[in-house]
Amino acid sequence: MKLRGKVALVTGAAQGLGRGFTESMLQQGAKVALLDIKVLDGRKTTKELGLKYGQDKVLFLPCDVTDKGQMESAFQQVLRHFGQLDVVVNNAGVTEQENWELVLDINLRSVIQGTYLGLHHMSRERGGGGGLIINIASMAGLIAMFHGPVYTATKHGVVGLSRSLGTPFHFDRTGVRVCALCPTMTDTPIQPPRVASTPEEQVKLDAHWAYTDSQGGLLKVSEVVAGFLQLVEDDSKNGAVMRVTKQKGVDYQPYGGGGQGVPVTTRKTRSKL
């Protein structure tokens, strides 16, 4: 998909990878709606990006992705404000924590919600123009992140959702590509400190950092963003699961279909992608 003139919606866009994805699409000439539960940070990021790329290119919408009503309203506001929607990036996520139900709600249920809202508003069979949905999973969606069982479960779910909806059965009717992006540990605020306040916490942090260091350390946001843009621009990728790791850089999870997804469609379709 060429991004110039397109409209994207990014959840969790106030910081970290979501901010990186947002800025990369602005650089390519897209307009972007930034959604985040952090209102002050979201407004600050949006102001900074507006000064750099044009106030008319950005829109900040305070939104808790776990709130169905807020998500539905946000999608409606994006369509009213920009007049169209072409790309949805379900990025908002949290790491393992005591409240595992919240991890499940944010990392999986809300990604399903955002994916279905994207299909609802972009699907050709509903009069939309087709489009692209990229769900931000993790390498924890492909291997067992031992220090995050629920996080691992949610990310495996995001990969499965994206692969299922990224098949010709759906694309032939919707014209919407659906892919998953699986980075390894990346240098963003989601990363925990190296020093804990309790011995029990220190054990968990030591395990996390020993594992991270064993895998070559943290990726830079820019390395993940480079993979993201490649996935956006490659219209042949549907149901694809892109990996970004220190060891191998950007590649695709090999499945029966070669890991680069199944053929986008079984029909010749006029593509706006």
Ligand X SMILES: CCCCCC(=O)CC\C=C/C=C/C=C/[C@@H](O)[C@@H](O)CCCC(=O)O
Question: Closest Cα to residue 214, out of 147, 131, 121?
Answer: 147
Of residues 40 through 99, those in contact with ligand X by CB under 6 A are 95
DSSP summary character for residue 199: H
Select the residue interacting with ligand X from 28, 66, 84, 215 (CB under 6 A): 215
Ramachandran region, residue 131 (left: φ > 0; alpha: ψ -120 to 50; beta: rest): left
Extract the tokens encoding 143.
């291997």
The active-site residue, picked from 151, 211, 252, 255, is 151
Q: Per CB under 6 A, does 140 bind ligand X? A: yes
Q: Is 157 in the site for ligand NAI (CB under 6 A)?
A: no
- Strand 241-245 vs strand 176-183: parallel, antiparallel, or unpaired? parallel
Cβ 87 to ligand X shortest distance, Å: 22
Nearer to ligand NAI, 124 or 243 (CB): 243
Give residues 48-87 in contact with ligand NAI (rule: CB under 6 A).
63-66
Is 151 among the catalytic positions? yes
3-state DSSP assignment of residue 250: strand
Residue 215 binds which entry of ligand NAI, ligand X, none, CB below 5-8 Å type-dependent? ligand X
Q: Is 185 in the site for ligand NAI (CB under 6 A)?
A: yes
192 DSSP 8-state letter: P
Which among 104-112, 165-173, 185-193, 217-225 is the span making contact with ligand X, rule CB under 6 A? 185-193
Looking at 90-98, 120-128, 163-171, 197-205, which segment touches ligand NAI (CB under 6 A)?
90-98
Q: Give the Å distances, CA to CA, from 52 to 27, 56, 210.
A: 10, 11, 39
User: In the chain, what is the greatest distance between 2 CA atoms, to the nearest angstrom?
Assistant: 60
Q: For the CB of residue 96, give the shortest distance to ligand X in the complex, in Å.
A: 6
- Rounded to whole angstroms, the Cα distance separating 154 from 112 reads 11
Q: Which two tokens stand for residue 135?
A: 């769900």
Which tokens sit at 114?
């955002």
Nearer to ligand NAI, 106 or 231 (CB): 106
| Residue 208 binding result from ligand NAI, ligand X, none, given CB thresholds of 5 to 8 Å by partner type | ligand X
Identify the DSSP state of 160. H
Catalytic residues: 151
Residues that bind ligand NAI (CB under 6 A): 11-12, 14-18, 36-38, 63-66, 91-94, 106, 136, 138, 183, 185-186, 188-191
